[in-house]
Structure 1
């Protein structure tokens, strides 16, 4: 990967939200700065892997579609995650595989068919301005992205890519990795510190009832609606909040916190979604049904290590790994 940047794409039209995301911003929560990074770690990792990029390379996260890009040069890309009716020169673009673009080709993201967030990786990686060690774009905190100020893509923007000396070999993700986000989701959840403070009925409902994804969902968190959960703890001293934490506010409706969450919170927690469960939830449409499944730390760590080994041969989490 070269240090010099090259013009890769021009933004012809923007959608609701398109952000540059690398693996995320770690080691800074004591400063009140959240991690950012891809809402769907699984799809982001596969996009970079297919494009021949190392773990941590920056890719585009496109939510709800609407984005139109024009290639300024020949590029090799990979598209994963949601099916946003993506076309190249008005023809359907292949997903979960590498694609070769020619200068002048138009890549357009339409309306969601399957999932919410698509990922676009380019061979060599996108170049952004790192802030506190990461180019992950967090709009609320105005950090990261292509300009270092947390700005979403705007019409007329030029997207810089790193030079790459070779086109990656044609790759396709195994069919088993190409998730159907329309299916009901079962989310692995590690029981939390306050779980014993919930009533027995609430614990039964939490792990046996169906929950619906509310309209109030974004990169900060996803509110779920269903049975009212009751907890004897009504207030806590604020404590650190990790990716996937499931807080239960006074209305009894859980909120699963995602990448752009606040760094501390004082609501009791039912538990914590695993990183891959949080990724799956980030692809759920409003009204979609999900269930919680209690998970143990040993199986959770084993699954995450296996996932990481697919992309960088790590048998343990590194500095850019979500904390479980």
Structure 2
């Protein structure tokens, strides 16, 4: 049993929590751009945390159900409708055979997640179904292709359904401009003036932003280092290239690089950033490593309490 793809949308990808253990071979992790929205989708359905979902960027996706199931929608509000009736994200819905589910243009945020009871039944590549188009890995075909019209998205049919809604306090505020980050060991190479620029100025998300990284535009940060010996790149690294305009590296980032890195956005901060559209403004909020760990622990506890 499956969803039939009537309209494929702007960018619809199969994702799980990522392809881990291969970065030393140059294979990036992939995975959901908004990790906590993804995790809430599976939690609402009592799925395994790594069950495959759809990541829907900018909407314009239409699916027809070929069997009954239960779904959860989380993340951005893309103006979703079920049989032409408006529905809201962050909750579950019962689906019957023949139902038509549509995602329109963004109302709030950029990326929505569609989870199905039991997860999408897709064969993993290197232990994951996460789609990384640049590396031609994962997804429905295993070759890193985005979802296309006419694709069949298999799931295990069920009439089991439990109405669940994400607690209000656990739903992120996608209008929030503050993006939490922790400083790196290379932060000390910045002058006091550059540090002030980083935390006191706003940055605009540019059109040259994608799953690999978000390029920002604002007052340039020069720094004292113009390059370093290439080293491994962690998720959320804030790179400082020669033009002084920060680049935040995200799920489909390269595995090594030689630009100085001022710090890393947190996993939650990266999710907030991934919901921003070109032209949206952000600013960085500095957290200690301990504060960042406490933030993640609190959010994971909220998930475990639902389960």
Q: Is the 8 A contact 1:54 1:312 kept in 2?
A: no
Deviations 1:149-198 (A, max 9, x none): 1111111111011455x7242110011223342x2421111111211111
Number of positions where the alignment pairs a residue of Structure 1 with one of Structure 2:
305
Q: Is the 8 A contact 2:76 2:89 kept in 1?
A: no
Q: Is the 8 A contact 2:69 2:157 kept in 1?
A: no
CA distance in structure 2 between the aligned counterparts of 1:75 and 1:169, rounded to whole angstroms: 11
Residues 1:310 and 2:307 are matched in the alignment: no
CA distance in structure 1 between the aligned counterparts of 2:141 and 2:122, rounded to whole angstroms: 7
Deviations 1:50-89 (A, max 9, x none): 1221211111000011111000101100111111111111
CA distance in structure 2 between the aligned counterparts of 1:190 and 1:178, rounded to whole angstroms: 22
Residues 1:15 and 2:15 are matched in the alignment: no
CA distance in structure 1 between the aligned counterparts of 2:303 and 2:123, rounded to whole angstroms: 24
Residues 1:91 and 2:85 are matched in the alignment: yes
Partner of 2:233: 241
Residues 1:109 and 2:103 are matched in the alignment: yes
Q: Is the 8 A contact 2:124 2:138 kept in 1?
A: yes
Q: Which moved more, 1:37-46 or 1:303-312?
A: 303-312
CA distance in structure 2 between the aligned counterparts of 1:94 and 1:306, rounded to whole angstroms: 25
Residues 1:153 and 2:153 are matched in the alignment: no
CA separation of 1:311/1:179 partners in 2, compared to 1, >3 Å: closer, same or farther? Answer: closer
- 1:312 is displaced (CA, Å) by 4.7
Q: Is the 8 A contact 2:94 2:161 kept in 1?
A: no
CA distance in structure 1 between the aligned counterparts of 2:67 and 2:133, rounded to whole angstroms: 29
CA distance in structure 1 between the aligned counterparts of 2:25 and 2:290, rounded to whole angstroms: 31
Q: 3-state SS of the aligned residue for 1:217?
A: coil
CA distance in structure 2 between the aligned counterparts of 1:289 and 1:173, rounded to whole angstroms: 27
Structure 1: which 5+ runs fail to align?
1-6, 314-324
CA distance in structure 2 between the aligned counterparts of 1:168 and 1:267, rounded to whole angstroms: 49
With normalisation by structure 2, the TM-score equals: 0.96
CA distance in structure 1 between the aligned counterparts of 2:39 and 2:302, rounded to whole angstroms: 9
Q: Is the 8 A contact 1:59 1:120 kept in 2?
A: yes
Q: 3-state SS of the aligned residue for 1:215?
A: coil
CA separation of 1:281/1:269 partners in 2, compared to 1, >3 Å: closer, same or farther? Answer: same
Partner of 2:73: 79
Partner of 2:267: 275
CA distance in structure 1 between the aligned counterparts of 2:180 and 2:78, rounded to whole angstroms: 26
Q: 3-state SS of the aligned residue for 2:185?
A: coil
The 5 Å alignment of 1:27-106 reads 27-106=21-100
1:252 to 239, 244, 254: 244
Residues 1:207 and 2:215 are matched in the alignment: no
Q: CA RMSD in A?
A: 1.3
Partner of 1:129: 123
CA distance in structure 2 between the aligned counterparts of 1:132 and 1:92, rounded to whole angstroms: 38
CA separation of 1:55/1:101 partners in 2, compared to 1, >3 Å: closer, same or farther? Answer: same
Q: 3-state SS of the aligned residue for 2:119?
A: coil
Partner of 2:257: 265
Q: Which moved more, 1:113-122 or 1:139-148?
A: 139-148
